[in-house]
Amino acid sequence: MNFLSEGFTQALGLLLTLDPETFAAVRATVVSTAYAMTAALLLGLPCGFILGYCEFPGRRFLRLISDTLLAFPTVLIGLLVYAFISRRGLLGDYGLLFTLGGMAVGQAILALPIMISLTAQAVESLDARCRQTLLTLGAAGWQVALATICELRFAVTMIAVTAFGRVITEVGIAMMLGGNIKWETRTITTAIALETSKGEFAQGIALGLVLLIMAFAVNATLTVLRRRGRA
């Protein structure tokens, strides 16, 4: 087990010296995840709210589709997106393959069902008496919807964190759409997989520590926001 202790020591050295290769993977991860989460939030939250709040024909079928896509294999997402953004695909002219933007497209598709289904579930789980009380007091439809959104603020934050964790730890999509190109599209997870397969544990451990720190920072921020909201 000496190789683990030596790898951990070397990993700390890479982090403390701000090793360029290590932090290039961190940068690629942060950028692609930011793109993907922005798209997932802008599209997923409104769709999830409508799916859980409104009654319309086909609603149950759409909910079933969204829930089914929660188990959508990541390699299949990568394959489908690859087919669209490759040179022979419909979006081939945009040059998205093996770029951070291309990875973000696949990661956004991965996060969308999470945002939609969990938001719809959160809306449906609200006490129905709250909506009825607001309507009784003469609130307009948009005021009821706004009040519902305010009630969901902590649930939405948790949903966003769940989607973030799914996206930032993903390997298959990043490997297929990004190509694991050094200095460009090599992310934390693909770098860990590559370095471990080569027997180089130092950089893998260093990047794993960065991943843990990022997860801790996100959850610590969430805890602070909760406490302030309850104060």
pLDDT in tens, 67-102: 999 988 899 999 999 999 998 888 888 889 999 999
For the chain, domains (ranges, CATH) are: 2-230 (1.10.3720.10)
- At residue 220 the predicted structure's pLDDT band, cuts being 50, 70 and 90, is confident
Q: Indicate whether 142 pLDDT > 80.
A: no
Report the distance separating Cα 196 and Cα 203, nearest Å: 9
Place of tokens 């009380």: 133
- Return the closest-CA partner of residue 117 out of 39, 38, 52: 52
pTM of the model: 0.87
Backbone phi, then psi, for 90, in 5-degree steps? -65, -30
Give tens-digit pLDDT for 14-50: 777 878 888 899 999 999 999 999 999 999 999 998 8
Arithmetic mean of pLDDT, 151-167: 86
Judged against a pLDDT cut of 60, whether residue 231 lies above it is answered with no
Residue 117 pLDDT = 94
